[in-house]
Structure 1
Amino acid sequence: MSVAPNTDPDRLGFDPARLARIDRHFGRYVDEGRLAGWQVVVTRRGEVAHSTTYGLRDVEAGVPVEPDTIWRIYSMTKPITSVAAMMLWEEGRFDLNDPISRWLPEFADVRVFDKGSALKAYTVPAVEPIRVWHLLTHTSGLTYGFAQTSVVDALYRAAGYDLGVPPGLDLAEATAGMAKLPLMFQPGTGWNYGVSTDVLGRLVEVLSGQRLDAFLTDRILGPLGMTDTGFWVGEPDAKRLAALYMAHPATGRAIRADRFGAAALHRPQCLSGGGGLVSTAADYHRFTQLLLRGGELDGVRLLAPRTVRYMTRNHLPGGGDLASFEPEGFAETVLDGIGFGLGFAVVTDPVPARVPSSVGEYYWGGLASTAFWVDPVEEITALFFTQLMPSSTYPLRAQLRQLVYSAVIG
C-alpha cells in the first residue's frame, strides 16, 4: 500500500512550486551523504497534496526508498499506545487520576531521588502516587537511561535500562524493574521524557487482559488497515525494511548501525509501547487521518471527537510550556511554546519556538528522525521518514514545517 497524491495541490491551497522545495531541500541531505534516503507525505482536508521519496533505503545494497518502505518509528509508537489507553478510558476501565499501583502494585512504594551520586544515591518517599495522567504526559518522574544527563539516568543504565531493557525480560518484568529505580522528581511536579509510555503499555495489557501486540492489532491496527505496522518485520517483508544509520561524529555522514537496526527483524521479548513499532508512510498516514477526523476513519471509530480534542490540549500543570519545567534529558521536540497533552506535544504559542505552526497543532517524532504532525486549524498532516539516529542530529522537523507552511497560499 502506498500514499500517492490524489488531487491538484492548488485545489487544497498549496503552491506546487513551493511544495517542490521540500524535495530539493531534503534531497541535498542525501546528495551530501548526511541521510541515506527519506519519504515525505503532506495532506490537507484528508487529501494527499505531496508524496515523494528520495535516496536509498539501504545504501550498501543500493536499493531505493520506495512508497512501501518499512521504517522504525521508535517514539512515534507513543501516540498509538496513548490512543490504546484512551480507548480503555472511554470504556470506563480507569480514571485519569487513578494511581497506577491499583493495577501495577510494584509502583505502590516508589521513591524519588533527592541527592547524591550514582554510587551513593539518597532517595525519599514519593508524596504523590504515579497516576495514569502522569504516564500520558511524561510528568511521572520516570526517565530514559540513554539521556545521560542526570544521576537517575546513570542508575537506569547501571540496571540495564539504556536504549532498551535488560536482556530476557518481557514487558511485565521490565516494568517491575523500572519501579525499583528512583524517580527524577515527585510525580506531577516536572516533565521528563522517559519510559512512561512503556509503563502505560503494560497498563494496557493488565486492563485489557491481552498482550500489547494483540491489543493493538485487534483494536487499532487491524480495524484501520495498518497491515504493515507491528513490533517486528517478518521474513517476507524484511527486504522492505530500511537500514538504520547514525551520524559520523566528525563528518556528519550517515554510517550504518546494524547493531541497533537488526533488532527490528526479530520478535522482541519486551513489547515497547514507547518505541517498539515499525510502520510505513501509508499506515501512519491512516493513523494521522483518524486523529484529524476526530477518532474516525472510513467508518471505523476508535475514539470520540471530544476525547481526541481533550488528548490534544495542553495538560501540563499550570498550563505552562515544556521550557518552564526545565527538563534535563533528551526530548523529541523543542521546548519553548510547546505544551504536552495525553500522548502528544501541543503547540501553545508558535512564536517562542521560532517555527511556523498553528496553535493547537500536535505532533511527535522518533529516535531515527521520523516525525509527524496534525494541524486541526489548517487541516494539514505531514509525515517524514528517514533512519538516522539520533533525531537531534539535524533540524529536519523544523525545516519541514518551514517548507510546508510556506507552501500554503490559500
Structure 2
Amino acid sequence: MKTLRTLLLAALVPLTSLAAPLVVPTRLEATLSGMVQRGEVVGVSALVFEQGKEAYFGAFGMADREAGRAMSRDTLAVIYSMTKPVTAVALLQLQEQGKLQMDDPIEKHLPEFGNLRVWAGGTAADPQTVALDRPLTIRDLGRNTAGFAAGAGLPDGLKQLADEAWAGASWNTNLRGLARIAARLPLVHQPGARWRYDIPTNIQARLVEKVSGQPYDVYLAEHIFKPLGMTYTRYVVADQDADLGQLAATYVRQPDGSFQRQPDAQAHAFNRKNWAQKPGASGLVSTLDDYAQFARMLLAEGVGPNGARILKPETVRLMATNVLADSVTDRQWLPDKGNTGFGVNVGVRVGPPRHRDDVSGAPGEFFWDGAANTLFWVDPKHQIVTVLFSQFFPAGDARLNKAIRAAVYADEPEAFAGNRPPKP
C-alpha cells in the first residue's frame, strides 16, 4: 500500500511530465520529405523539442539548389517577421528594469509623438483630423493597435500623405528617422480600435534604443543573443564571415508550381550590407538551433537551456497572453492564422480550431512566422517547441503550416476541428 507521503509527492509532479509524448519522428520525416519529393518546397528543415528533450530534427531538399548545397542544421535563413518576438523580449526586459511600462504613452519616451492626430477624412491637400481619444501607449505598439499610417489599406488622402512621407526612407534611414516620419502622419484610427500590421515593432526597437542608450543591434547581441548562445543570429552577413556559405537561397513559387530562384542581390540585399537601419520588425538571420534556444527560453518562462535568465516568468506570461479585446473586430488578416488573439508581438491561440479548414494548433500556444515561410511556436500545455525553416515566397504558405502541425499533433484531437486530417 502506498504511503500518504508517496501520494503527496506524486501529486506534485507536473502534469506535463506525465503526458505521453505527441511527437512521432517517422511521421514528421514522412511529411517533410514528402513535400520535397512532390516539389511543394525546394528545401525544408525542422527542429522539435518536447518535454525538454530534442524530439525531432530533419532537413530535406536544397538550401541552394543551383549550387547543390543541401538543407542542413546549420543553414542560415532570413527569418523576416520572426524578428518581432525578439523585439518583444528586448522591450519587456526594459519594463522589468523599470525603465518603461506597457501603459506609458509613447511620447513619454519619444517626444516626437506628442502631437499625434487621427485621420478623419479630406484629401492630402486638405486633411481633416481629430484629437486622440486617449494617448497612444507602448501596449498599443505590442498588440498592433497603434494605427500608424504605413502599410496597406489606407484611405486615399492619407495614403497620398504617407506615400510622400515615406518616399525618402530607405535602409539607410535609422530607427530615429523612421520614428520621426511616423510621428508626422495622422493615425489611421483611434488607439486600440483596430489590429493593423504596420510598423509598431520598429517603433518598439526605437524605444529600446532610446531607453537603453545602445544601438538596437548591439542591445540584442548583448542582452539576448550572447546570453542564450545564439552565435549565428544577427542582421549582417558580411563577405568575410566564415558562415557566408551557409546562407540559404530564396525561391519564388510560380503559377505552375515550379520554383524560380530569386536573385541573391535581391533576396539578400538587406543582410549583405551594414545598413543604418536595424529594424525591430524584420531583418534577422538565424539557424534552427539558435532560434530554438530563444523559443525554449520562452517555454521555460524566461530561462534559456544554458541556464541564462532572460525574462521573469510573469513577463513571459504577459508576452504570451491575449490582450486583444473582443471589441477589436477589425483584425485585418489575423484570423487567417487560426483561432488567434495577440500578445506582445506574438499570435496567441485562444481556443481550438473553429472549423475543419482552420489552422490547427493547441490552445495556449503562442507563435509567429516569417515572410519566406519560416515558423515557430511554443506550446506550454504539451511542452513543445517547434522551429521550421524554408526560404520561398509567396509568404504564408498554408500547406506547409498545416502539414507540420498535423504531423506534430496527429494524436491530439484538441488541435483539430471537424474532420481531422489523416495521419501523415
CA distance in 1, matches of 2:66, 2:154: 34
Query: Aligned in 2, Cα 1:118/1:56: closer, same or farther, shift over 3 Å?
Result: farther
Look up the match of 1:306: 314
Aligned to 1:43: 49
Q: 1:182 is matched by which residue type in structure 2? A: P
TM superposition shift of 1:155: 4.9
2:360 corresponds to which of 347, 350, 356 = 356
User: What letter matches 1:398 in structure 2?
Assistant: K
Contact preservation (8 Å) 1:82, 1:343: yes
- C-alpha deviation, 1:125, in angstroms: 3.1
Per-residue CA deviations over 1:70-94 (Å, capped at 9, x if unaligned) read 0111111111111011001001011
Distance 1:14 1:349 in 2: 19
Q: 1:65 aligns with which of 44, 49, 71?
A: 71
Q: Map of 1:8-407 to 2, 5 A cutoff?
A: 13-14=21-22, 16=24, 19-116=25-122, 122-142=128-148, 144-145=150-151, 147=152, 151=156, 155-160=161-166, 165-235=169-239, 236=241, 237-248=243-254, 250-258=255-263, 259-297=266-304, 298-318=306-326, 325-328=329-332, 334=336, 337-352=339-354, 354-406=358-410
Per-residue deviation, 1:126: 2.5
Taking a change above 3 Å as real, the CA distance of residues 117 and 266 of structure 1, as seen in their structure-2 partners, is: same
- Per-residue deviation, 1:153: 5.8
Q: 1:394 to 1:150 in 2, by over 3 A?
A: farther
Task: Give the alignment's TM-score, normalised by structure 1.
Answer: 0.87
Q: Could you tell me how far apart the structure 2 residues matched to 1:192 and 1:153 are?
A: 15
Q: Distance in 2 between matches of 1:15 and 1:306?
A: 28
Counterpart in the other structure of 2:8: none
TM-score (normalizing by structure 2): 0.84
Amino acid in the other structure paired with 1:263: F
Cα distance in 2 for partners of 1:149, 1:244 equals 30
Aligned pairs, number: 387
State the one-letter code of the partner of 2:140. H
Greater CA deviation, 204-213 or 264-273?
264-273
The farther-off stretch of 254-263 and 21-30 is: 21-30
Deviations 1:15-36 (A, max 9, x none): 63xx333333333443344422
* Structure (1 or 2) with the larger CA radius of gyration: 2
Once residues 324 and 55 of structure 2 are traced to their aligned partners in structure 1, the CA distance between those partners, rounded to angstroms, is: 34
Q: Percent identity?
A: 34
Following superposition, the deviation at residue 167 of structure 1 comes to 4.7
Tell me which amino acid in the other structure corresponds to 1:279: S
Change (3 A) 1:260 1:158: farther
Compared CA separation, residues 126 and 395, structure 1 to 2 (3 A): farther
CA apart distance, 1:113: 2.5
Partners of 1:370 and 1:391 within 8 A in 2:
no
* RMSD, matched Cα: 2.5
Q: Distance in 1 between matches of 2:126 and 2:374?
A: 38
Segment drifting more, 286-295 vs 355-364: 355-364
- Secondary structure in 2 aligned to 1:352? coil
Structure 1: runs of 5 or more not aligned: 1-10
CA distance in 2, matches of 1:25, 1:402: 9
Q: What do residues 225-253 of structure 1 show as CA deviations (whole Å, max 9, x unaligned)?
A: 001000111332211111122222x2233
